[in-house]
């Protein structure tokens, strides 16, 4: 990195934050703009003359997920053209596809260009779990309400990356732990530090372990289905499927309730009766034909042919967009109890 000149940053945004459109713009390919756009202007202001956003790379999340190599090529082109020293992505908050794209951009910057990179997103964002061990991620709030708080933190962290390349411990620098441990010299031996922690624990005093053990909940897979022609199948979905009018008032983001909707006597679900309210993907295609999301038409055909025993006459639905893990776990358990009461032996889970 050239330390003799002002640090030059490439900022990645999706079309929405770049002011180029909403959900319909998420199929747009990578576009490069000189200078800052959207939140990049706040980033520029927070850098306070120590660095600047030299260019902004904008790409729709749908396009990114399907054409990562093309986006990588545009990133490499932009880095050379604008003499980039560092990459900042987002912040993505709780937007799942955006978070995945922000994490991917940072990993591409590290791996393809050897450039330091940082992003920010909520703890519940799928991009956090998927990329946190390979990318520097600052914890952000669930929504843009925390934009004015997180962008200055991104700027400060970016400057530390520019100055040192490798930041200090996560607990000190404020990024999410990556599971990396480094040897450091201390005045006390490991045995002395262990005894100190034990004494603090016995006295009820606060202490901090040097090795955090993260417990991940393991869910045992269900046993395989035997004879399909004996299977009673239920449809459970987080795609935001529901009747017009949304009788259960399911939110399009961070939902806390779910509903069950009758399909008794229906060979298919129709757009006249049903719709989708998910805020995390473009629902136009599934609104045109709801069977694209919940395949009632295909399952009824299998039922008539005797290839499955029966389709449960209700669909169990919520919206998974930005859902808190605790809420989704509760909803899943409640749905499972109702599905079992209806005699289901198999579940089809259409999801985004």
Q: What local confidence, expressed as pLDDT, does residue 216 receive?
A: 65
In the three-class reduction of DSSP (H, G, I as helix; E, B as strand; rest coil), residue 311 is classed as: strand
61 to 25, 105, 137, 141, 275: CA distances (angstroms): 9, 11, 18, 20, 23
Phi/psi-derived region of residue 131, left when phi > 0, alpha when psi is between -120 and 50, beta in every other case: alpha
Q: Is the pLDDT of residue 1 over 70?
A: no
CATH of 7-173, one of 3.40.50.1100, 3.30.70.100, 3.40.50.2300, 3.40.50.720: 3.40.50.2300
In the three-class reduction of DSSP (H, G, I as helix; E, B as strand; rest coil), residue 171 is classed as: helix
Q: What local confidence, expressed as pLDDT, does residue 323 receive?
A: 82
Q: What local confidence, expressed as pLDDT, does residue 215 receive?
A: 63
pTM value surpassing 0.85: no
Q: What are the residue ranges of CATH 3.40.50.2300 in the chain?
A: 7-173
Per-residue burial over 1-26, b = 16 or more CB atoms within 10 Å of its CB, e = otherwise: eeeeeebbbbbbbbbbbbebeebebb
| 78-94 tens-digit pLDDT | 999 999 999 999 899 98
For residues 240-264, average pLDDT: 93
Q: What local confidence, expressed as pLDDT, does residue 2 receive?
A: 44
| 292-336 tens-digit pLDDT | 999 999 999 999 999 999 999 999 999 998 887 778 889 999 999
Residue 154's pLDDT band, with cuts at 50, 70 and 90, is very high
């Amino acid at each position: 990195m050239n330390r003799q000149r002002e640090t030059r940053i490439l900022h990645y945004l999706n079309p929405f934050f770049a002011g180029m459109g909403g959900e319909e713009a998420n199929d747009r390919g990578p576009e490069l703009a000189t200078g800052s756009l959207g939140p990049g202007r706040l980033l520029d202001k927070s850098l306070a003359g120590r660095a600047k956003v030299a260019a902004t790379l904008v790409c729709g999340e749908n396009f990114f997920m399907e054409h990562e190599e093309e986006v990588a090529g545009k990133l490499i082109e932009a880095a050379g053209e604008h003499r980039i020293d560092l990459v900042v992505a987002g912040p993505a908050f709780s937007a799942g596809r955006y978070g995945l794209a922000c994490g991917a951009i940072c990993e591409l910057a590290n791996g393809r260009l050897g450039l330091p990179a940082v992003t920010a997103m909520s703890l519940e964002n799928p991009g956090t779990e998927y990329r946190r061990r390979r990318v520097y991620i600052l914890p952000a709030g669930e929504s843009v309400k925390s934009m004015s708080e997180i962008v200055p933190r991104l700027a400060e962290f970016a400057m530390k990356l520019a100055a040192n390349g490798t930041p200090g411990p996560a607990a000190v620098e404020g990024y999410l732990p990556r599971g990396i441990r480094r040897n450091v010299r201390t005045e006390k031996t490991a045995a002395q530090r262990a005894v100190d922690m034990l004494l603090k624990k016995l006295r009820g005093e606060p202490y901090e372990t040097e090795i955090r053990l993260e417990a991940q909940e393991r869910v045992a897979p269900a046993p395989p289905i035997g004879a399909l022609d004996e299977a009673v199948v239920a449809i459970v979905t987080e795609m935001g499927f529901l009747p017009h009018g949304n009788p259960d008032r399911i939110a399009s983001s961070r939902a806390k309730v779910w509903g069950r909707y009758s399909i008794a006597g229906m060979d298919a679900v129709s757009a006249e009766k049903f719709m989708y309210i998910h805020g995390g993907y473009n629902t136009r295609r599934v609104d045109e034909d709801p069977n694209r999301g919940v395949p009632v038409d295909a399952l009824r055909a299998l039922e008539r042919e005797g290839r499955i025993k029966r389709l449960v006459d209700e669909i169990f639905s919520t919206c998974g967009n930005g859902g808190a893990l605790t809420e989704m776990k509760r909803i899943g358990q409640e749905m499972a109890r109702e599905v079992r009461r209806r005699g289901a032996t198999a579940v089809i889970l259409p999801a985004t």
